[in-house]
Amino acid sequence: MKAVELIEKKRNSRKLNKKELTFFVNGFLEGVIPNYQMSAFLMAVTINGFSDQEAKVFTDVLIKSGRQLSFGEKLVDKHSTGGVGDKTTLIIAPIAAALGMKMVKMSGRGLGHTGGTADKLAAIKGMQLILSPAEIKKSLEEIGVCLLQQSADIAPADKLIYQLRDVTATTNSIPLIASSIMSKKVASGSKILVIDIKVGRGAFIKTKKQGLELARLLKKIGRHYRLKVICVLSRMDEPLGINVGNGLEVMEALSFLNGNYDKKLYDLVMELTSQLLKQERKVSYQVACQQIEEVLNNGKALNSFFEIIENQGGEVRNIKISKQTLLINSPKSGFVKKIDAFKIGKLVQQLGAGRLEVNDEISLGVGVVLHKKEGDYIKKGDPLLKVYFDNIKPASKEFLSCYQFSVQKVKEKKVVIAIV
């Protein structure tokens, strides 16, 4: 069996069997199959897809490339397919802890123009993101939640493939997305999983139809492993919340838990968390929302945030934020009609918040704060957004090109599109 023959087979839209997929993934993991051949394979899959059976087998091979964790707990988990300004994990995890749920949240680095939770957590000085199974178990017993970066021994083949997808324009493949997500979740011992499928300009999934197809595949793979999967399709046309950038998003999460939040971010957090709680406690949506609001209002969720971070060595009062700033004012009066999430994400990536090459170091403190969101009214000359930067001075006109204005009031679009 030769790697080039399997690449050619997939290039020609032919199906690969378990033996062939195992050979290719394990060969890559062992260094026998080089990056350029895996890159060609990933592109062939992105263009021609996988059958459901191929996706299930590929997921299984990724899982079995490393160890599988089990803590004897009914673990809940939440995952996002990647968006701009998506800091929901940083908010949902402490809410889950405050409610007594158990969560081992294993997150990845940023992909392309989208931010990764692992990178955001790295903006907190001292934060340890790789824990041993014994340390994870202790955290579950004492705190209820731990936030991790994908370790070398959990689906290691996925970790290497994930890094390649980031720099080979193969981030939007539905079967590759599904296999990557499910391999990590099954290997980390999750039992209930809510997946936030981002749909729109700033997401890898551009249409509702594609989002529903991904949801179908995720749920099918989940059933194979007896993992309960709920998918929430959410709008990603404009950035989520007001801060975009690693350290800045941690700051917004902290502000949210202090009672200051963007409405659409709040709506999405409530939807995702209530779906977790409904499945874990078998309660109604209304009861779930009431319990979530209670721990937000009484400060328990905020205290859990501090506990989670401090338990993993992080210093909550030492979050990386770039010192150089550029305030950009509105060029006209009117309503903000559109903020292009993809363009904002790319510009923040170019400031250094994301990677252009696999091993790029990123700037944890750069990003933007949006003073106005879609639907807001602004006067000419008033602050529109503030850019935080290190070495790359931003150009105002590039950020202004992300905006469209209207003289008429803009109809608000709900952030949640569908639940499946």
Domains of the chain: 3-49 (1.20.970.10), 76-311 (3.40.1030.10), 324-406 (3.90.1170.30)
Give whole-number Cα distances, 227 to 77, 222, 279, in Å.
11, 5, 12
Mean pLDDT over 43-50 rounds to 96
Contact criterion met (CB below 8 Å) for 351 and 345: no
The helix/strand count (H/E) of the chain reads as: 16, 13
Q: What is the arithmetic mean of pLDDT over 135-163? A: 89
317-370: per-residue pLDDT in tens?
999 999 999 999 999 999 999 999 999 999 999 998 887 676 778 899 999 999
Q: What is the pLDDT of residue 111?
A: 67
Could you tell me if 13 and 48 are in contact, meaning their C-beta atoms sit under 8 angstroms apart?
yes
69: pLDDT strictly greater than 90: no
Give the list of residues 6+ apart from residue 274 with CB closer than 8 angstroms, or none.
285, 288, 289, 292
- Residue 113 confidence (pLDDT): 79
Do 276 and 79 form a contact (C-beta atoms < 8 A)?
no
Identify the three-state secondary structure at position 319: strand
DSSP 43-87: HHHHHH---HHHHHHHHHHHHTTS-----SS--EEEEE---SS--
152 vs 162: which has the higher pLDDT: 162
What would the mean pLDDT of 45-70 be, rounded to a whole number?
95
Residue 409 CB-density burial (10 A; 0-12 exposed, 13-18 middle, 19+ buried):
exposed
The model's pTM is 0.92
Q: Is the pLDDT of residue 47 over 80?
A: yes
Q: Mean pLDDT of all residues in the chain? A: 94
Residues annotated as part of the active site: 79, 158, 165, 180, 184
φ, ψ (nearest 5 deg) of residue 75: -75, 135
Question: What is the pLDDT confidence band of residue 393, given thresholds at 50, 70 and 90?
Answer: confident
SS3 (DSSP) at 405: strand
Q: What is the chain's Cα-based Rg?
A: 21
- In this predicted structure, the answer to whether residue 172 has a pLDDT above a threshold of 90 is no
Sign, CA torsion 60/61/64/69: negative
Is 344 within 8 Å of 237 (Cβ atoms)? no
What digits encode the pLDDT tens for the residues 216-269?
999 999 999 999 999 999 999 999 999 999 999 999 999 999 999 999 999 999
Strand order in the sheet with 76-80: 145-149, 103-107, 76-80, 192-199, 228-235, 416-419
DSSP reduced 3-state for 408: coil
